[in-house]
Structure 1
Amino acid sequence: MLLCRISAVSQSVARWGTSVRRGALLHPALSFNTSRCQNVSSTEGTVHPAAAQGAGPYRDSVLLPRTEFPMKLTGQNLIDREVQIQQECGFAELYSWQRERKAKKEYCLHDGPPYANGDPHVGHALNKILKDIQNRFEMLRGKQVHYVPGWDCHGLPIELKALGELGTSGLSPLQIRQKAREFAEGAIARQRAAFQRWGVMADWDKCYYTFDGTYEAAQLKVFQDMHSKGLIYQDYKPVFWSPSSRTALAEAELEYNPQHVSKAIYATFALATLPPKMAEAVGELGSISVLVWTTQPWTIPANQAVCFMPNAQYSVVKRRDSSQLLLVATERVSSLATLLSTELESVGTFTGTELEGGVCQHPTIPKKEVPLLPANFVTMGKGTGLVHTAPAHGMEDYSVASHFKLSVECIVDEEGRFTELAGPELQSLSVMGEGNDTVISMLKAVGSLVKEEECVHSYPYDWRSKEPVVIRPSKQWFIDIASLKDKAKEVLAKVRVIPESARGSLLAHLDRRPYWCISRQRSWGVPIPVFYHKETGEPLINKHTVSHVTQLFSEKGSDCWWELPLESLLPPEVLKKVKVTDYERGDDVLDIWFDSGTSWAAVLGDSRADVYVEGKDQIGGWFQSSLLTSVAVQKRAPYKSVKYFLYLGVEKGEKMSKSLGNIVDPDTVIHGGEDPSVSPAYGVDVLRWWVAESNVFSEVQIGPNVLNSARDSINKLRNTLKFLLGNLQGFDPRTQAVDPKEMHYIDQYLLHLLRNYSMKMTDAYNDFGAGRAIRLLQAFITRDLSKFYFSIIKDRLYCDPEDSLGRRSCQTVLEEILDGVTRSIAPILPHLAEEVYLHAPGHNEGETLFRSGWIKSSPVWRRPGLEEAVEGACAIRDSFLSSIPGRNAAEYELTIEIEPGLLFELIESLQDEPTSSSSQLTELMMSSQTTLTSALPRDLPADALISNGSFLINLEGESNGCFGSVGGRTALELSNPQAAPFHWLHGVTLRNPMQPCLQVRTLEYVM
């Protein structure tokens, strides 16, 4: 016999979110664990012990689980089953079906176009499956999902891959475009087949492609609108130029290499004319030189000025080792002295504004003089505080040139080599190689080189060729970002950003882009609809010309730009005013970021997307280009929310890349490799589980360990589902379900938990929390089902009469659990969900889960009084089981003594008679017999184990007026003997006549 004494605290205060069932509010004396039944192992899906010996004499006396649902699928059986489910359950028709049904709300996830330049990879899987999980959830919730997959089909990488070793030599633009189109179409076909195999829900016959004429026409309408507003213009200014690709690049097409090594130099510009203030101060000291620092020596021949910070302080210093006089920022004197290994003595100090009027002698170009000019971009963090300024080869330098009307002459050609303007000594030399070294030698020869050093710093590279870029001026087409910036920030403030921390990055990208170069010198893209005068080079572009070309592209595609004669490309109203032979069509195409950034116009029409979901790199890419073009035309963001995820890496911590040879092929993940022992066939659902479980806000990793873990998790889930299906054999919920009010309390309680689970799962998916959904699923199965409910109900399931109320009550709950769990995992594991649904009772043949809605739960399942009764009993149960480690609870007769009061009334609802071997309380305790009493037996056995404890009950009500002001924290402290021992509250009731309040009773409980 085991007796247990427990003290309970009942409180009429506001309900706290922490559940008693988890042991968070229990008296330490009871040592409650977070799981209910740590000493009772879960056996769902296994054979009942009575049947372990085969056809024994008791086999027919128990109702054992029976189901054809397999515990595990492996190898080719797994692959075949997934394909079969896709066919039987209409995966291919699901998107069209839900678009045709009536729905009150639409959910639009606008698909960012993947690049059509290669085979599908796990980056695609992460992207498409994340989106599909959300789409399937929204569809199950009853919304009409709008999701049109698309592909980004233009651009240099496709052009280069299509041409291979042929290059562009001797090929016409149309020939290049034909080869590029064929290459893109092949990549699209392979990627589309993979996306379908992954179970991505879409109408794969109605995708969008940026090379379609209708898409190109929609893009040109945006171009026309922006041009008519003065937001698109042609100018000659510095742009990022890729010598390796021979084209201009936008900011979003750059990758910054933090380990780039430059040859940095300190060089002097002799002051040919001293600033007036300096001339008065230094007198006849001698020749003074301005000291500059640069990491790009090759730009020195293009120098047009030396800039200073107006509000900084500058000093003329004398080198002790050579008596040379140098002008530098006062703030930099100490660092420069250390760098030059000499003392620098100050002989005069001046403000920045006092340097105005100074003129320097160019160090490598005789007779060329350059002015000292003020500029706010000058900083004191590095260098000398004086900046060598080459307007043709620097964005900030160009702004100085624009303000002071300086020359902007380009001395670098499209291949990154010096032109003849740089002089015979430099002409044809690569500016990033031999040309750079030659400039340094020239400076050294004339005595201007003070120091040379290697500098490791971040430098922009072409994201395609992985080679360094240069800044050079070119006549290009630009978008005026500065005019859009304020409005873009305003609308972005109304957009939900997930995670919120990314908002700063979105804003930062806006701030550092005064303009966007949208023209590219390639053939594979959407032609910029501009005609140029052959002699003057003046562009011919207006609403008539662009509208006409737009209509032609819509009808014939953009190839007609090269196919049709000029007379057909120009509209009649323009042909009346110009001489066709005076003009030629432009050769430039639009930046692919403008291509993809106008997808909202081609796909969404007048609607806004609920969300854009892409990788983090799109913060400066598609998210930006879409925002800017939409703000320009619609004065709003094209999306209500944006969500990003991070890059992929392998388990070794390396970033996944083709160059490292560590790319994980999703086809190998699904179908297995040549050696199944090394690369087993995991199937699609494992790939989808990996995507869902990944923390997409940190680097996502994939490899054998991660995939094996995902497979094991799914197999454990199958085990639980098999147990549920096996115990529902022969049960039809449509005719045999028990009304919740007639159920056993423990069954009602599970419906209560199931309702909470369903609400939490809904919240998780609403917040794009597929990983949180998995954690909720695993916690519910492990804690609430396996370790608790399943361990309690097996006797009732196996041993009660088949049609008894107790067994049917249990089966009703099992069916609800099966249905709820299956639906809750369906967005992540659609194949497993449909497979379970095919075996589940309660629906007609041919029905599919995805056409039948989300988790069904009822408000009547929430039973607060019942919740306290069961959770109070569970607390006692946990204490009981923890006191008999390793023993069978059925060996014990349990006596529970509770002083009359609230807890006694709650527990009494589980057992009508004082002593019972078949009550719901006995079932819950798993003992052979349970006695519930309000007074301790007088004849306690000498070997009786007695345990005391307290239990906190949370009921609806107010938190003020009891014990002054008794909140959750105070009550918790009262239940902790170390904070406030209970003995002085023994048997006392504290009341406030005006309000419900804290009641403390001694409720003793003997084991």
Structure 2
Amino acid sequence: MCADTTETVSYKDTLNLPKTDFPMRAGLPKREPGWLERWARIGVYEKLREKAKAETRAPFTLHDGPPYANGHLHIGHALNKILKDMVVRSQQMMGRDARYIPGWDCHGLPIEWKIEEKYRSKGLDKDAVDVVEFRQECREFAAGWVDIQREEFKRLGVTGNWDDPYLTMNYHAERVIAEEFQKFLMTGTLYQGSKPVMWSPVEKTALAEAEVEYHDHQSHTIWVKFPVVGLAGTEALVAEITGGDDSKTATAAQEIGAEFANTNVVIWTTTPWTIPQNRAVCFGPKISYGLYKVTEAAEDNWAKVGEKYLMADALAEDIFGQARVDAYERLRDASPAVLEALTLKHPLRGVPDGQGEWDYDVPLLPGDHVTDEAGTGFVHTAPSHGDDDYQIGLKYGLPMTYNVIEDGSYRADLPLFGGKRILKPNGKEGDANKAVIDVLASGNLLMARGRLTHSYPHSWRSKAPVIYRNTPQWFAAIDREVGDGQDTYGKTIRERALRSIDELVTWTPQKGRNRLHAMIEARPDWVLSRQRAWGVPLTCFTKKGALPDADDFLLRNEEVNARVLEAFEAEGADAWYKDGAKERFLGGIVNPDDYDQVMDILDVWFDSGSTHAFTLRDREDGSEDGLADLYLEGTDQHRGWFHSSMLQGCGTIGRAPYRGVLTHGFTLDEKGMKMSKSVGNTVAPEKVVQQYGADILRLWVAQSDYTADLRIGDEILKGVADSYRRLRNTMRYMLGSLNDFTEADRIEPAEMPELERWVLHRLSELDEVVREGYAKYDFQGVFQALFTFATVDLSAFYFDIRKDALYCDGDTVRRRAARTVLDILFHRLTTWLAPVLVFTCEEIWLERFPGDESSVHLVDIPETPAAWRDAELAAKWSTVRRVRRVVTGALEVERTAKVIGSSLEAAPTVYVSEGAAEVLRTVNFDDMCITSGITVTTDPAPAGAFALEDTDGVAVVFDKAEGNKCQRCWKILPDVGTHTHEGVCQRCDTALE
């Protein structure tokens, strides 16, 4: 029976209890800024560069994708920069020279639009301001936000060369961007063309695909009649119908003419404003079409009884329903030969006051882009206002129209519609659609009309809808041979890009490769020009009177180019806009009067696509070969920065400027909804940092699968904070137990008990997991492995077992081994976790190693000896842990029933197989189970013995420990009270000596 000694003696002061000043409560929001100041004071980033140089480390360069300098950071910015920082820090701590130069995109509409908004609020006209003065305001605005965002990024614990970032508006950067453009000019890939591009009438400029986002938009829908006016190319049509029988030829031609007389081809469109620009109608060669006749309809209906219509069979029922036709009949098939033979009349032909503008026939042409999934199976084709339309126009020689000017209104002299607006200056719908619909309706040229809500492209800056508009623009030809001799990966930009994607770049995740490959494979030529003021100009000149396709249209002169670059290096791109610029650059080389100066600016994606040249190539802290080891951005950058950098690099250096691409998802709220200020579900990083600290935000990133969209919100952050607290407590326990540890206490692994050698084995396994995970940028995998190890292997197992030895042993091998292992654990866990928990690991490190120059971020992850790996030992201890789990389960039942208060009151019997028994007899299994005694037997387990369903061959019968309670270690043992010191066991008596 268990018995207590009659009198208790306090031995608390003789125990080796943990001692540490490391607080349980982190207080991160208040304490993190102090560590930032400390890192800046001792120059951690600079010291790492010096260390790398002295050790001749292999470089690793993550090239920063430049955010726009035009507002406070959002949670997506925080996710991106934290991921980059974890990459840089982990690579550095694994032995690389990991450089990180932050950068900002400073040109383009995001900044220009803000200045225009300021002007509009004051009733000022931007176009009335001197362009150099306007550009200076843009520069000052961008510089202000660079400073703000820099401090916000630094607050997240992001390391890098913050004192000398790259800015696309720096004079040298502007010079290089112009120089990179000149390479396109000189190698023959630059040309001026007229084709439809996405155009913002509100911002009065062309937009790149990456500058467009899609929102629901309500559009007009109209079903328009294109009357058939004749047959063209009837020989092939007649031959098809008569089977080559000449005797039937004349009759067949007459029959065809009669059947299709007074017939209408019906088109459906959601852009009525494009009808005045129509030049053709397209049909799908593989679609089934029929000729239909209206047999019943109301007298006031637009589709009249007796009218005939051509339409896709699959869509006929829906079309007639929309047109409120009560009954109709199908007269015959309409084969591709029939359709292609038909000639149509432009629906506006002959309208009153049309002044002959639309007095032309419209061909019916085959087009593979036509489907019968919606509409009518016929597509109204305006080559000036759509890419598919434009391609058809090129193929069949259709003329382009120039009816829509830059503000989205019809040219003033366009009959009927001159001055009508597609969009108002505020982005709302103008009067153009209604004007066109009214004219069509008055001429009985509509079959039906309606409204449709659908996904429609909008400018991501003004949030206004965009249109496709034909306008002269400057393009980089991606299928034209680049005359630069860099043909290793192909002769054209497209060839070089596709081969780079497949042969030169590692994709994380791999699906990123497929996405960019598909985009590059199908994309048209790159639109380089924008009709704005804030940016790097297209530094080229055109010959007056020369046609765009003439050899002498573009001035290609190295001396002129050099003058421009010299001016930009000294004065920035403003030099292009100063009075007398043309004469300054051309005078004495060619006659300035013979040339026009191009005043468009470069697409801002060309700026960011060129950053590798003035950052990686030109800077001393750039990359030795001018290439980046990694580009890391969100998935939207497959059509943005990854894309433009690929095209730009393939046009100037003949290949991709990066060796690796990592993409992350978007940030969503806790319900998986897109964040929106109007909805009120945004999560500001500043607020998270103020409430929890930056390390909690960083831990959220590390715990998440960044390859998919990431959710964040209060409940999620509370869960992250809980994980952080558990990890912090683990580290605090280690610090307390290592309070007075010195090198004299250390022992070699060969002298250690098996339990300690098992921990070393686990560390050898984890070292491999950590290094491979960081190498693959698998931060979630690394953290999950370390968190599980810290909470399950350490806190719930190793620490739980060894705290008795650490507290109660004297100077034993067991205690010295445990402390040696704790020191080894300390160095690995702090360095393994430092790339994630940058502030906390610094705090932990300084608790043991204080000093003005001390920092965990100045050390590497320690090398782990291969000799620590011991698979045989690991297998043995797997058996120990498996049986232990059943024992602790049995004791928990008794504790819950209040039979015992502590596991030390127990001395259970464990029933196991002979093999397991042999293992357990070689270890102090009672210590492993934290009991005062334990019996291991191979006898059959009695009925009612405790067992776990998932652990075969193990059963436990509970019994209480016999003896007295040791007043020092609290074990209940028969020998308590029989030693020199009162009320203690043999082990404690020895320790007290």
- TM-score of the aligned structures, taking structure 2 as reference length: 0.83
Query: Paired residue for 1:924?
Result: 928
Cα distance between partner residues in 2 of 1:870 and 1:743: 15
Query: Paired residue for 2:815?
Result: 807
Task: Give the alignment partner of residue 306 of structure 2, picking from 323, 327, 332.
Answer: 323
Whether 2:244 is the aligned partner of 1:287: answer: no
Query: Paired residue for 2:650?
Result: 631
Cα distance between partner residues in 2 of 1:945 and 1:252: 69
Whether 2:879 is the aligned partner of 1:872: answer: yes
Q: Does the CA-based 8 Å contact 2:282-2:379 persist in structure 1?
A: yes
Structure 1 segment 744-763 matched on structure 2, within 5 A: 744-763=753-772
Task: Give the alignment partner of residue 59 of structure 2, picking from 86, 101, 106.
Answer: 106
Task: Give the alignment partner of residue 613 of structure 2, picking from 601, 604, 618.
Answer: 601
Query: Paired residue for 1:620?
Result: 639
Whether 2:860 is the aligned partner of 1:853: answer: yes
Report the AA paired with residue 624 of structure 1.
H
Whether 2:840 is the aligned partner of 1:832: answer: yes
Report the AA paired with residue 643 of structure 1.
L
Task: After superposition, give the CA deviation of every residue in 1:609-655 in whole Å (9 maximum; x if it has no partner).
Answer: 22211112111111111111112233322222212222223335442
Task: After superposition, give the CA deviation of every residue in 1:663-717 in whole Å (9 maximum; x if it has no partner).
Answer: 43333332x3xxxxxxx3x222122222222332333233332333333322222
Task: After superposition, give the CA deviation of every residue in 1:256-310 in whole Å (9 maximum; x if it has no partner).
Answer: 22x2111111111111213434854344354122211111111111111222234
Please report how far the alpha carbon of residue 662 of structure 1 lies from its aligned counterpart in structure 2 after TM superposition.
4.5
Query: Paired residue for 1:299?
Result: 274
Q: Does the CA-based 8 Å contact 1:242-1:462 persist in structure 2?
A: yes
Quick one: higher RCO (CA 8 Å, sep 6+), 1 or 2?
A: 1
Indicate the SS of the match to 1:380. coil
Whether 2:662 is the aligned partner of 1:643: answer: yes
Task: Give the alignment partner of residue 604 of structure 2, picking from 582, 589, 592.
Answer: 592
Q: Does the CA-based 8 Å contact 2:726-2:791 persist in structure 1?
A: no
RMSD (CA atoms):
3.1
- Percent of pairs with identical residues: 34
Q: Does the CA-based 8 Å contact 1:238-1:473 persist in structure 2?
A: yes
Instruction: Decide whether aligned partners of structure 1 residues 465 and 950 sit closer, same or farther in structure 2, where only a CA change above 3 A counts.
Output: closer
Report the AA paired with residue 653 of structure 2.
Q
Task: After superposition, give the CA deviation of every residue in 1:489-533 in whole Å (9 maximum; x if it has no partner).
Answer: 222123222222333322332244212211011110001012234
Indicate the SS of the match to 2:724. helix
Cα distance between partner residues in 1 of 2:945 and 2:436: 93
Query: Paired residue for 2:980?
Result: none
Instruction: Decide whether aligned partners of structure 1 residues 225 and 87 sit closer, same or farther in structure 2, where only a CA change above 3 A counts.
Output: closer
Task: After superposition, give the CA deviation of every residue in 1:30-51 in whole Å (9 maximum; x if it has no partner).
Answer: xxxxxxxxxxxxxxxxxxxx9x
Indicate the SS of the match to 1:345. strand
Structure 1 segment 142-221 matched on structure 2, within 5 A: 142-166=95-119, 167-221=125-179
Query: Paired residue for 2:354?
Result: none
Q: Does the CA-based 8 Å contact 2:222-2:268 persist in structure 1?
A: yes
Please report how far the alpha carbon of residue 470 of structure 1 lies from its aligned counterpart in structure 2 after TM superposition.
1.2
Query: Paired residue for 1:488?
Result: 497
Task: After superposition, give the CA deviation of every residue in 1:141-186 in whole Å (9 maximum; x if it has no partner).
Answer: 0101122111100001201213433241311110111000000000
Instruction: Decide whether aligned partners of structure 1 residues 467 and 332 sit closer, same or farther in structure 2, where only a CA change above 3 A counts.
Output: same
Indicate the SS of the match to 2:82. helix
Query: Paired residue for 2:226?
Result: 269
Structure 1 residues 857-866 or 151-160, which shifts more? 857-866
Instruction: Decide whether aligned partners of structure 1 residues 80 and 446 sit closer, same or farther in structure 2, where only a CA change above 3 A counts.
Output: closer
Structure 1 segment 694-709 matched on structure 2, within 5 A: 694-709=704-719
Query: Paired residue for 1:363?
Result: 347
Q: Does the CA-based 8 Å contact 2:730-2:791 persist in structure 1?
A: no
Instruction: Decide whether aligned partners of structure 1 residues 628 and 56 sit closer, same or farther in structure 2, where only a CA change above 3 A counts.
Output: farther
Query: Paired residue for 2:464?
Result: 467
Instruction: Decide whether aligned partners of structure 1 residues 180 and 291 sit closer, same or farther in structure 2, where only a CA change above 3 A counts.
Output: same
Please report how far the alpha carbon of residue 56 of structure 1 lies from its aligned counterpart in structure 2 after TM superposition.
7.7
Unaligned runs of 5+ in 2: 120-124, 239-252, 297-304, 351-358, 424-428, 481-492, 618-624, 955-993
Report the AA paired with residue 767 of structure 1.
K
Query: Paired residue for 2:381?
Result: 389
Please report how far the alpha carbon of residue 659 of structure 1 lies from its aligned counterpart in structure 2 after TM superposition.
4.4
Please report how far the alpha carbon of residue 343 of structure 1 lies from its aligned counterpart in structure 2 after TM superposition.
3.5
Whether 2:886 is the aligned partner of 1:890: answer: no
Instruction: Decide whether aligned partners of structure 1 residues 173 and 535 sit closer, same or farther in structure 2, where only a CA change above 3 A counts.
Output: farther
Report the AA paired with residue 569 of structure 2.
S
Q: Does the CA-based 8 Å contact 1:71-1:722 persist in structure 2?
A: yes
Cα distance between partner residues in 1 of 2:412 and 2:129: 29
Cα distance between partner residues in 2 of 1:311 and 1:649: 43
Q: Does the CA-based 8 Å contact 1:240-1:250 persist in structure 2?
A: yes
Cα distance between partner residues in 1 of 2:948 and 2:434: 84
Please report how far the alpha carbon of residue 79 of structure 1 lies from its aligned counterpart in structure 2 after TM superposition.
4.3
Aligned residues: 874
Report the AA paired with residue 641 of structure 2.
W
Indicate the SS of the match to 2:368. coil
Indicate the SS of the match to 1:443. helix
Structure 1 segment 371-450 matched on structure 2, within 5 A: 371-430=363-422, 432-450=429-447
Query: Paired residue for 2:319?
Result: 336
Query: Paired residue for 1:562?
Result: 577
Query: Paired residue for 1:689?
Result: 699
Please report how far the alpha carbon of residue 441 of structure 1 lies from its aligned counterpart in structure 2 after TM superposition.
0.9
Query: Paired residue for 1:780?
Result: 789
Query: Paired residue for 1:451?
Result: 448
Whether 2:99 is the aligned partner of 1:116: answer: no
Please report how far the alpha carbon of residue 819 of structure 1 lies from its aligned counterpart in structure 2 after TM superposition.
1.8
Cα distance between partner residues in 2 of 1:482 and 1:280: 48
Task: Give the alignment partner of residue 345 of structure 1, picking from 288, 304, 329.
Answer: 329
Task: After superposition, give the CA deviation of every residue in 1:944-996 in whole Å (9 maximum; x if it has no partner).
Answer: 986799999xxxxxxxxxxxxxxxxxxxxxx899xxxxxxxxxxxxxxxxxxx
Indicate the SS of the match to 1:320. strand
Cα distance between partner residues in 1 of 2:767 and 2:843: 21
Query: Paired residue for 1:233?
Result: 191
Cα distance between partner residues in 1 of 2:48 and 2:186: 39
Report the AA paired with residue 392 of structure 1.
S
Cα distance between partner residues in 2 of 1:418 and 1:440: 15
Q: Does the CA-based 8 Å contact 2:758-2:873 persist in structure 1?
A: yes
Q: Does the CA-based 8 Å contact 2:508-2:662 persist in structure 1?
A: yes
Instruction: Decide whether aligned partners of structure 1 residues 116 and 218 sit closer, same or farther in structure 2, where only a CA change above 3 A counts.
Output: same
Please report how far the alpha carbon of residue 98 of structure 1 lies from its aligned counterpart in structure 2 after TM superposition.
4.7
Cα distance between partner residues in 1 of 2:681 and 2:457: 25
Q: Does the CA-based 8 Å contact 1:118-1:187 persist in structure 2?
A: yes
Query: Paired residue for 2:774?
Result: 765
Cα distance between partner residues in 1 of 2:47 and 2:578: 41
Whether 2:92 is the aligned partner of 1:139: answer: yes
Structure 1 segment 929-944 matched on structure 2, within 5 A: 929-930=933-934
Cα distance between partner residues in 2 of 1:771 and 1:507: 27
Cα distance between partner residues in 2 of 1:327 and 1:597: 49
Task: After superposition, give the CA deviation of every residue in 1:30-88 in whole Å (9 maximum; x if it has no partner).
Answer: xxxxxxxxxxxxxxxxxxxx9xxxx9822222111111111113377434554465357
Structure 1 residues 355-364 or 469-478, which shifts more? 355-364
Task: After superposition, give the CA deviation of every residue in 1:95-130 in whole Å (9 maximum; x if it has no partner).
Answer: 544553424422111110010111233222111111
Unaligned runs of 5+ in 1: 3-49, 673-679, 911-919, 953-974, 978-1007
Please report how far the alpha carbon of residue 906 of structure 1 lies from its aligned counterpart in structure 2 after TM superposition.
4.0
Task: After superposition, give the CA deviation of every residue in 1:872-911 in whole Å (9 maximum; x if it has no partner).
Answer: 22223222232233244433445667787x655544443x
Report the AA paired with residue 866 of structure 1.
L
Report the AA paired with residue 571 of structure 2.
K
Structure 1 segment 248-267 matched on structure 2, within 5 A: 248-257=206-215, 259-267=216-224
Query: Paired residue for 1:710?
Result: 720
Query: Paired residue for 1:720?
Result: 730
Query: Paired residue for 2:563?
Result: 548
